[in-house]
Copies of this chain bind each other. A is one copy, B any other.
Amino acid sequence: MRSQNRGSLDLRNVHIENQYLKHPEGSVLITVGNTKVICAASIEDRVPPFLRGTGKGWITAEYAMLPRATETRNIRESSKGKVSGRTMEIQRLIGRSLRAVVDLEAIGEKTIWVDCDVIQADGGTRTASITGAFVAVAMALHKISLEKKWTTFPLQDFLAATSVGISQSGEVILDLDYQEDSQAKVDMNVVMIGNGEFVELQGTGEEATFSTSQLQEMLDAATQGIKQLIEIQRTALGEVATLIDQVVKKQS
């Protein structure tokens, strides 16, 4: 039996508390089961060197865990003096995912900094970060859009992420908690937009492999999970969700 009595294709309880912090342009506390992540979006009025003069903006993400977000205490990366490979992989994933839906030309030469800080970890921190960060970024874009009087909201669609895997017993399971993740034969992170297309797909068999039909089954599970996550984002965003819906409608 899975934690919280859920079935193999059920998400954990998800909650997004919008406008969680005072200073950032957008910020949320996202809770996915026992996983809790603070996602903050900050707008900076300049871009990295490779974009200067192009009129195009950028999104960059950073990810970290509090030392005691986990069962046993982790050494801070600032104390170690370097960022781990795992952290780099995750922050690159978050940044790439968000860049798929933000209209970087529209925002002009600005950088959106996304900070995902895991307060409590129980599996799925990278996908929770993406799901939460989307809301923070949308709020931050809304804040500038009020000043800029843009005619089109610069977000092309909703974006959310979840994990899916194959358990030791060979069953496809959705939204793995830490214990499930550490025992799974295959682990896959799926990032998807509102129209059901993929942004990222990262499937890994650690000392194991998976077939085409297993892949299909996992993708189906992820797709329905992400649909539910987007509904939760919609609620958290309130009116701002409507702005995104308008953009989606206009495109189709």
Residues of A bordering B, CB below 8 Å: 21-24, 27, 34, 38, 40, 42, 44, 62, 64, 66-71, 73, 76-89, 91-92, 96, 99-100, 104, 113, 115, 117, 119-120, 122, 188, 193, 195-212, 215, 219
Starting from the known contacts A22-B122, A66-B117, A89-B92, 20 additional A-B residue pairs (CB-CB under 8 Å) come to A21-B69, A21-B119, A42-B67, A62-B67, A64-B76, A66-B115, A67-B115, A81-B82, A85-B85, A85-B89, A85-B92, A86-B92, A96-B206, A99-B206, A195-B209, A196-B211, A197-B209, A198-B211, A201-B202, A202-B203
Known A-B contacts A23-B69, A85-B88, A85-B91; the reply to A202 vs B205 at CB < 8 A is no
The contact of A201 among B71, B79, B203, by CB within 8 Å, is B203
CB distance from A202 to the nearest CB of B (A): 5
- Greatest chain B CB density within 10 A among A21, A22, A115, A209 is at A209
Closest to A206 in B: B96
Is B42 within 8 A of A68, CB to CB? yes
A44 CA / B67 CA spacing, docked (Å): 13
Give every chain B residue within 8 A of A76 (Cβ-Cβ): 62, 64, 78
A106 CA / B67 CA spacing, docked (Å): 26
Interface of A is mostly: mixed
Give every chain B residue within 8 A of A193 (Cβ-Cβ): 209
Give every chain B residue within 8 A of A215 (Cβ-Cβ): 198, 201, 219
A96 CA / B73 CA spacing, docked (Å): 21
Give every chain B residue within 8 A of A115 (Cβ-Cβ): 66-68, 73
